[in-house]
Structure formats: structure tokens, C-alpha cells
Amino acid sequence: MNDPLQVLLVEDDPDVRLGCEQALQLEDIAVCGVASAEQAQRRVGPDFAGVVVSDIRLPGMDGMALLKALRQVDPELPVVLITGHGDVSLAVQAMKDGAHDFIEKPFSPDLLVEVVRRALDKRRLTLELRQLKARLDSRDRLEAQLIGRSPAMAQVRQLVADLGNSAADILIQGETGSGKELVARCLHEAGPRRKGNFVAINCGGLPESLFESEIFGHEAGAYTGAGKRRIGKIEHASGGTLFLDEIESMPIALQIKLLRVLQERCLERLGSNTLIPVDCRVVAATKADLKALSDQGRFRADLYYRLSVVTLALPPLRERREDIPLLFEHFLLQAAARHQRPLPAADPARQARLLAYDWPGNVRELRNVADRCVLGIAAGAPPFGDLQPAGPRPLAATVEDFERALIAEALGRHGGSLARTAEALGMAKTTLHDKIRKYRLAQPD
């Protein structure tokens, strides 16, 4: 069948049902026939990939009742009703109740195919629009959370959007403070597992003596002090996402046990011999090079390869300096609301220092600086204190970073308008256009 959409045909007369099925199949239209409205109702969900064609006269629930029930599930689902000769009043009522169309018996195969094709075209458009809206909503959410106009952040957002519906385990690599947990949460929210729990474990923050009980759980009496059963973090994440932060700090002995769970998707609580199935997506994060650690024997190679089905690299802030003004403004707004303080006035000298600094603490450090600015205690601390940037940078590179950031900020402030941005920056539109291309910034509409 060429069309992924399907016709659900509801007809209690087996000969009529077979004739309709054959007429549709000869036109390469996928069809599934059932004998009752109750059977059809069980097959239809909110995003049913097809249309329903039903006789009105059915044993048990009739076609009119089925129409009403299906419209409660999905008001946009096309339902075509087949009426008997003389049931004009029923047909009129069906159209008032939301039926897509009706066919009066006796009817030709060509008429059935024509009506069904129109219904399928409508359904296809409806589902495409829903998918487009879902993608746009997801993109909007990602842009509001993973902030930045740099090509590097655009690529991160695209990967998160592409991987959201995937069940693949993911390894996020990035320096301290670069936003690894935020990306993990966005991956969780971008897919069907968002209805489940997002369970975060800091592998470097748990004592080894408690680690096994914390992530696998235990039965009552499993060890001294275990007075009652405890559900572990992995089991709690079933149906959702398990986030393993600082995975490089997990002891080797526990890496073996975790690997078994990830391979078999089953676990045993401490003190139990019962296997418990778990269905969770695993997102691990590290600031280290796990491949290098595994080559040195400091991290299990098999666990590394199990976790790194997909690797997502987060760029440090110093490699996307054009995002600094936008991020800083965002954090200032948050800090002003949180601390109930006025928003600090714009300061070009402050922005220059922000752009020149190397941000060893990345986005987390930038957020802290925004908090200090709102509280009025920023003076004397990096990047406004005596501490110099973490590493020397050529003058040309510093100037380019500053120019890129200014243009990106101005484009955002003026809604991407080339004319208004050029006017605000005091440069020709052709010059601005060349710089936008040079710095690979988002092209204005």
C-alpha cells in the first residue's frame, strides 16, 4: 500500500464488508474491516492515522453513537456514514453532528473510493498540521531554554529536537557549568517520556556505601538499618528518563552492575532475587573524555560504548561569545524578579568585560555574575575585578568576538530586521549583511 493512512470500515454484513474492502484495496487504499462499532472504538485514538467509514444500522452501538464517541476522542477525525435508502433524515442529522460525509445505499465502488479519498486527504492535512505545530512548539520551548544565536547552540537545539522522540541512550559531554543537566531535561521534555519521571543522580555526590541502595533500591532487612522496602532511582525512572551526572566518577565495581541493568533493562533490589523490568531512557553526562579514561583502564570500555550510542557535545561559553549578551540579559531578568530588585541599566563597559572574560565556570558562572549585578555586589569579582581573563587572546579575535556579539544582540532587539539593525549600529546594510554571513549569524527574514 502506498498510503500510510488507513480506512477503518465498520460493517456487520460480511458480504458488504468484503465488497467494500476489495473496492478500496484495488485502489491501493489500506483498509481494515470490523463487524461492530465496539470493535472500531477500541482501535481509534486521538491521532488515529486514517478515517472511519461506518454503516449507521449496526447491532449494539449504532453508527450515530459511534460518531458521537469518536468525536469525543478526536473532533477532527473524518467519519463517513453509510445510510440505508430513505434514511435522509438520519444523514442530515449525522452531518449536523459532525460527520465528514455520508453515502446512501446502494452505492457504486467508484463513489465509495471518491468519498474515502477526500476524507483521507483531509485527515492527512490535519495530521501534518498537528505534527508541524508540535515541532514548532518544541522548537519554541527549546529556544526559550537553550538560549543562544550561535551556530553551535543552533546545532545543539537541532540535535535535541531530532533525538527527543528517540529511545537511544545519549552521552552529553561538556565542561562544568555548560548546562548538561538542562540539555538532559530538554531531551526528556522533547519526547513521549515527558509524562514519566526525570530522575537525576549525581554519581560524584553519593558515598560508595550508599550508591547501590540509592540507585537499585532494597528490600526490608537487606542490611542493617533497612527497615522497609525502598524503590531505587532507576526503578523510579521507569517510563521516564534517568540522568547520570558526572558518570566518570562512578566506582568501577558499580559500573559493572549498572552495565548489566542497561543491557538487560532489569534490576534486582538489594536483598531480593526477583528481576524487575525497567523501561527508562538513560542520559549520561561527563566533563571528562570517557574514551581516554577507558583506554587508561579508569572507566569500563563496555559501559562507555553502551552509553555513547549518541554523543552530544556542549560548547563552552568562550567558544560562543556572541551568546553572552543574550544569556546575561536573560539571567538579569530572572535575578531581578527573584530578588525583587530593579534591573541594572545597560552598560557598554560592563558588556565589554563580559565578552573579554574566558568564563571557566561557563553559563553557571555567568548566571552568578548576573545575580551579583542585580544585588549590586559585582565589583571586585571576576570579570569585573582585578582577575584577568583565563588565557591570552589575540586582539583581532577579541574584537571579532565583541563585534559578533553586538550584531547578534542588535538583530534580536530589532526582530531580525536588517534595516533597523544597520541603522542602530550606524553601518550600511550591505556591510551588515556581509558581517552576518562572516559570523554565521541567523539571517534576517
At residue 240, the pLDDT reads: 94
Residue 276 bridge partners (DSSP): 267
Sequence-distant (6+) residues with CB within 8 A of 398 are: 355, 356
Cα dihedral value 329, 331, 335, 336, nearest 10: 20
Residue count (the chain)? 445
Q: Are 177 and 162 in contact (CB under 8 A)?
A: no
d(CA 51, CA 117): 10
- For the record, the C-alpha cell of 355 comes out as 565578552
Taking the chain, what is the end-to-end CA distance rounded to the nearest angstrom? Answer: 41
Q: Is the dihedral of CA 289, 292, 298, 300 positive or negative?
A: positive
Amino acid at site 177: G
Mapped onto helix, strand or coil, the DSSP state of residue 91 is: helix
Q: How far, in Å, are 138, 252, 288 from residue 293 at the CA level?
A: 35, 12, 8
Q: What is the DSSP string of 178-200?
A: S-HHHHHHHHHHTSGGGGS-EEE
Question: Residue 10 — φ and ψ, nearest 5°?
Answer: -115, 110
342 conformational bin, left if phi > 0, alpha if psi -120 to 50, beta if neither? beta
Based on the number of CB atoms within 10 Å of its own CB, is 154 exposed (0-12), middle (13-18) or buried (19 or more)?
A: middle
At residue 86, the pLDDT reads: 66
Instruction: Using alpha carbons, select from 269, 290, 282 the residue that is nearest to residue 240.
Output: 282
Domains of the chain: 6-130 (3.40.50.2300), 147-315 (3.40.50.300), 318-438 (1.10.8.60)
Element (H, E) at 215: helix 208-216
Q: Are 93 and 63 in contact (CB under 8 A)?
A: no
At residue 139, the pLDDT reads: 59
Evaluate the omega torsion of the peptide bond into residue 106 and state whether it is cis, within 30 degrees of 0: yes
Instruction: Using alpha carbons, select from 126, 124, 63 the residue that is nearest to residue 90.
Output: 63
d(CA 103, CA 63): 13
Longest dimension (CA), the chain: 92
Residue with cell 561569545: 321
CA neighbours closer than 13 Å in the CB half-sphere of residue 353: 16
pLDDT tens, the chain, 445 aa long: 345 899 999 999 999 999 999 999 999 999 999 999 999 999 998 889 999 999 998 999 999 999 999 999 999 999 999 988 667 788 788 888 899 999 988 899 999 999 999 999 999 988 888 876 766 666 567 788 898 888 889 899 999 988 988 888 999 999 999 999 999 999 999 888 888 999 999 988 888 778 888 899 999 988 888 888 889 999 999 999 999 999 999 988 889 989 999 999 999 998 998 999 999 999 999 999 999 999 999 999 999 999 988 999 999 999 998 899 989 988 988 888 888 888 888 888 888 889 888 899 999 999 999 999 989 888 767 787 643 444 555 777 767 777 877 787 778 777 778 888 888 888 888 888 888 888 877 654 4
Q: What is the DSSP string of 107-133?
A: --HHHHHHHHHHHHHHHHHHHHHHHHH
Q: Are strands 198-202 and 101-104 parallel, antiparallel or unpaired?
A: unpaired
- For the record, the C-alpha cell of 244 comes out as 547520570
Q: Are 23 and 109 in contact (CB under 8 A)?
A: yes
